[in-house]
Amino acid sequence: MKDSSKHRKAELYDHLKTAIMTLGLRPGEDLDESTLSEEFTLSRTPLREVLRQLAGEGYVELRENRGARVSEMSHTTLRDFFLAAPMMYGAVLQLAAKNARPKQIEALKDAQMKFRAALRSGSGEDRAMANNLFHEITGDMADNIYLRPSFHRLLIDHARIGMTFYRPRDPKMAENLSEASQQHDAIIAAIEEGDEPAAAQLAIDHWNLSRDQIEMFVMPTGLDMPLGSVARKTPA
């Protein structure tokens, strides 16, 4: 019975994580805890345990006497995202090249295989989750207690922003996704070789590719110049 409950909790966690990151559940949307409890055959206590875990990771917000809701995305959120992303990706990949363990590198290669498969025949949701897995692993590789939670929180909104403006029939976007896959391969090689400067530079290149896809939709005009200089600065 205990193992069964643990399995259902894991299923609920994965369901909510995927739904939030792929916009099956929209930012700010209230979660129907009664329905979730029935659907996953969980009592209130294990259900709340899952929600607390998701809240700690930045997926949901817990409100006293008002239940849980999906984490909001506001203009402030987007501003902070665009300012922090290039610096955080650079720090994470540089530390990943320094600290990655062989098993983690193999996991990263497996994640890249999943990403390639999603590009060939998967949905936009498959692509988003495969890309997120790739970057989650690099965050774990960095092995930094301060960066890990912040980076994982950043990845949530990166996935949601990408899903908002994903255009599967746009030739330019398809071309960018192919280039992103090639950059993933280069990132793996830099990490495997322990080449910290190369990994840091690839982080900037990879961020710029993503940024160029979405900035026309969400970039606050007043941030364009300062963010451009931050995002494109080559690490010393």
Where are the domains positioned within the chain?
2-70, 75-231
Q: According to the model, what pLDDT value does residue 47 have?
A: 95
Q: How many CA atoms lie within 13 A of 219 on its CB side?
A: 16
104 near 142, Cβ under 8 Å? no
- Strands (DSSP E) contained in 28-186 are 60-63, 67-70
The yes/no answer on whether domain 75-231 falls in CATH 1.20.120.530 is: yes
Element (H, E) at 145: none
Structure confidence at residue 122 (pLDDT): 85
Q: Phi and psi at residue 70, in whole multiples of 5°? A: -65, 140
- What's the pTM value of the predicted model, to 2 decimals? 0.84
Please name the CATH architecture into which domain 2-70 falls: Orthogonal Bundle (1.10)
What is the rounded distance in angstroms from the CA atom of residue 228 to the CA atom of residue 83?
A: 10
pLDDT of residue 234: 44
Residue type, 233: K
What is the reported pLDDT for 19? 97
H or E segment to which residue 219 belongs: none
- Closest residue by Cα to residue 163 from 153, 151, 173, 172: 173
**67 forms bridges with which residues in the sheet?**
63
Question: What percent of the chain is helix, strand and coil (3-state, nearest 5)?
Answer: 75, 5, 20
Cα–Cα distance measured from residue 134 to residue 188, given in angstroms and rounded to the nearest whole number: 10
Per-residue pLDDT of the chain (236 residues; tens, 9 = 90+): 567 888 999 999 999 999 999 999 999 999 999 999 999 999 989 999 999 999 999 999 998 878 899 999 888 888 899 899 999 999 999 999 999 999 999 999 999 999 999 999 888 899 999 999 999 999 999 999 999 999 999 999 999 988 877 666 666 767 778 899 999 999 999 999 999 999 999 999 999 988 877 765 555 444 444 444 444 444 44
Three-state secondary structure call for residue 70: strand
37: CB partners within 8 A, 6+ apart: 43, 44, 47
